[in-house]
Amino acid sequence: MTGKLNLDPAVVAQARELARLAGQPVTDLARTHTTVSVERAMLRLAGLDGADEDGMPWVNRLTDAIRETTGLEHGVALPAWDAMIAGGYPDLRTLAVDAAAGLAKFRLPMGADAGLAREHATRSVGAGVALIDQRRAERDRMIAATCDPPMPWIYLIVATGDIYEDIPQAQAAAREGADIIAVIRSTGQSLLDYVPEGATREGYAGTYATRENFRLMRAALDDVSRELGRYVRLTNYASGLCMPEIAALAGLERLDMMLNDCMYGIIFRDINPVRTFIDQRFSRQVHARAGIVINTGEDNYLTTADAVDAAHTVVVSQLLNEYFGREAGLADAQLGLGHAFEINPEVPDSFLLELAHAQLIRELFPDAPLKYMPPTKHMTGNVFAGYLLDAFFNLAGVMTDQSILLIGMMTEGIHTPFLSDRDLALENVRYVRRAAGKLGGSFRPEPDGFVAQRARQVLGEATGLLRTIGSQGLLNAIAAGTFGVTRRPADGGRGLDGVVERAPGYFNPAADMMEADQ
């Protein structure tokens, strides 16, 4: 990627440094706090699975029981393994059943007891982490045995709400050229403070993210990968109140990419900012270990804010996501920074503006597998106009060398996609890629023309905003509606009650392993 925009490297370096300064205090917060979901994720890595008859997972039952007795400020690991050892429990599951029934006793072990608990906990969690490592190796083997498709990867969504309808649709999409399948989640899942169990058939506008659904879909895509001789990646959402746990499950079931943003849950799900920043750090550490590519959600800002006015907020958020991601151990090649083609098609020169934005981001993050999102907001019931807009999105994607193209649906303004919508969408991108895949070579913006100037303007605005955020504090900036014109105070939103400040001696073997990993 040779620069086409004449960006000033000093400005770029400065923007990165400002992002680091703005993010640092939040990282400190994440290092000194834990959440219920971070604790539960640790338990999941230690092998605790399943749910009670009401569908409430044992990890929740156990964590809640411990919280009620010893509190969470030292983590659940010490009380849990201490109770296992003391109570002679064969496994965490048995302990959790008793705990739920109020039959298990918890305390904060000290001295040698603590050492023993620590040792057992570390061994159990280590097995989970080893499984993640195995899955990662398995992915490498599968890719070697099939083949890794060239970028841009074609990313497609399935969203029937029923895993058993999703599977054939995903396979059909793969056969028609999809490189990545994302299973959209049911509308309400991100607000659930637990991860549902088992195969599910009744989501609204999406299918529940469960370990079993992950497994079923990954197996179905492995079949189709072998059939096609091309590795088809699977994506889900490490987002919402259970971000850390879902990240762990994704690692355990060899998902390949996860939607995972440092601020999406805050802005679009009204999840508490502090909770989110803590959860995202742990989940990213897990993703780093699992070799999972994260996808960030800057595209969403442009659905509530105007895509021209707010273009620079996308860049600011990407720089923050980059900072937080790297800090959590993600390699640049795992940073699927998001952005979107959301300018109102009525705006003059909208396509040139889109090119300017997309090229700017490409040049700012040369090693990141950028994820480019299609138009959604200005998709109406006119499916022909929508098909056209999607084509120009695809074109902008290939012209500016984006890495991951989420393929737009002509019925975006109407309903979650039909099977045929997806097929037509793939025909669309296949044509654009085949016909105009090399057009980028002839795309050379005039040095001081419309495109280059616009790109520089957006970068300038981003730097200015980062400076403001640095001085007011990121949490305050979020409270003031900086992102997606949505105000989210630091003490508002859901899930704050699941946040706990770590006490001295806090112990979480998963966190420790991930931290050591970096």
Partner 1 sequence: MSLTGIVRPYGDTTGDGRVQLSFTLPVPFGDETERARAEGAALQLAAKMGMDPAMVVHAKGMGPDFTFFIVYGRVSHLVDLSAVTVTEREFPVLPAAEVNLRIRSALGRKLVVVGACIGTDAHTVGIDAILNVKGHAGEKGLEYYREIKVVNMGSQVSVADLVARAAAEHADAVLVSQVVTQRDAHLTNTREMSAAFRSGLGSQRPLLVAGGPRFDPAAAHELGVDKIFGRGTTPGEVASYLVHALVSQRDPGGWLPPGKERAGAA
Q: Catalytic residue among 264, 372, 387, 506, which?
A: 264
Q: Kindly state the smallest distance separating residue 303's Cβ from ligand B12, in Å.
A: 3
Which residue, 185 or 357, has its beta carbon nearer to partner 1? 185
Are 7 and 360 spatial neighbours (Cβ–Cβ below 8 Å)? Answer: yes
DSSP per-residue string spanning 180-220: EEEEPPPTTGGG-SS---S-----SSS----HHHHHHHHHH
**Do 344 and 310 meet the contact criterion of CB atoms below 8 Å apart?**
no
Of 166, 261, 299, 421, the active-site residue reads: 299
Out of 4, 89, 194, 371, the active site residue is 371
Q: What gap in Å lies between CA 34 and CA 267, rounded to an integer?
A: 21
d(CA 511, CA 472): 30
Q: What is the CA radius of gyration of the chain?
A: 23
240 binds, among ligand PLP, partner 1, ligand B12, none (CB under 5 to 8 A by kind): ligand PLP
Out of 355, 455, 499, 510, point to the residue binding its own copies (CB under 8 A). Answer: 355
Binding site for partner 1 (CB under 8 A): 159-162, 165, 168-169, 171-172, 175-176, 186-188, 191, 202, 204-205, 268-270, 303-304, 380-383, 411, 413-420, 423-424, 486
The residues facing 280 across adjacent strands are none
Backbone angles phi, psi at 317, to 5 degrees: -65, -40
Contacting positions for ligand B12 (CB under 6 A): 184-185, 187, 205-206, 268, 300, 303-304, 376-377, 379, 411-416
**Quick check: 389 and 379 in contact, CB under 8 A?**
yes
Residue 349 site contact among its own copies, partner 1, ligand B12, none (CB < 5 to 8 Å, cut-off depends on kind): its own copies
Alpha-carbon distances, residue 269 vs 88, 149, 191, 304 (angstroms):
42, 34, 8, 13
User: Identity (one letter) of the amino acid at 123?
Assistant: R
Q: b or e along 460-483 (b: 16 or more beta carbons within 10 Å of the residue's beta carbon)?
A: ebbbebbeebbeeebbebbbeebb
Decide: is 189 part of the binding site for ligand PLP (CB under 6 A).
Answer: yes
Annotated active-site residue 371? The verdict is yes
Nearest to partner 1 of 106, 387 (CB atom)? 387
Q: Assess contact for 398 and 432: CB atoms under 8 A.
A: yes
Nearest-CB residue for ligand PLP? 297
From the list 111-119, 176-184, 288-296, 422-430, the region that binds its own copies by CB under 8 A is: 422-430
Binding its own copies (rule: CB under 8 A), the pick from 10, 53, 202, 384 is 384
Binding track, positions 52-71, relative to its own copies; x by CB under 8 A: --------------------
What residues from 264 to 303 belong to the interface with ligand PLP (CB under 6 A)?
264, 269, 296-297, 300
Q: Which stretch binds ligand PLP (CB under 6 A): 2-10, 183-191, 397-405, 466-474?
A: 183-191
Residue 230 as a binder of ligand PLP (CB under 6 A): the answer is no
State yes or no: is 231 an active-site residue: no
Which strands make up the sheet holding 257-259, listed edge to edge? 335-336, 293-295, 257-259, 233-237, 180-183, 153-158, 404-406, 371-373, 338-340
428 binds its own copies (CB under 8 A): yes
Report the amino acid identity of residue 368: A
Residue 400 interaction partner, one of partner 1, its own copies, ligand PLP, none, beta carbon < 5-8 Å per kind: none
CA dist 96 and 102 (Å) reads 10
Q: Which is nearer to ligand B12, 289 or 422 (CB)?
A: 422
Of 326, 417, 420, 341, give the one whose Cα is nearest residue 375: 341
- Catalytic (active site) residue 105: no
Q: How far apart are CA 459 and CA 312, in angstroms?
A: 7
| Contact residues for its own copies, defined by CB under 8 A | 345-346, 348-352, 355, 382, 384-385, 387-389, 391-392, 395, 410, 424, 427-428, 431, 434-439, 441-446, 449-451
Give me the active site residues, please: 264, 299, 371
| Contact residues for ligand PLP, defined by CB under 6 A | 185, 189-190, 237, 239-240, 259, 261, 264, 269, 296-297, 300
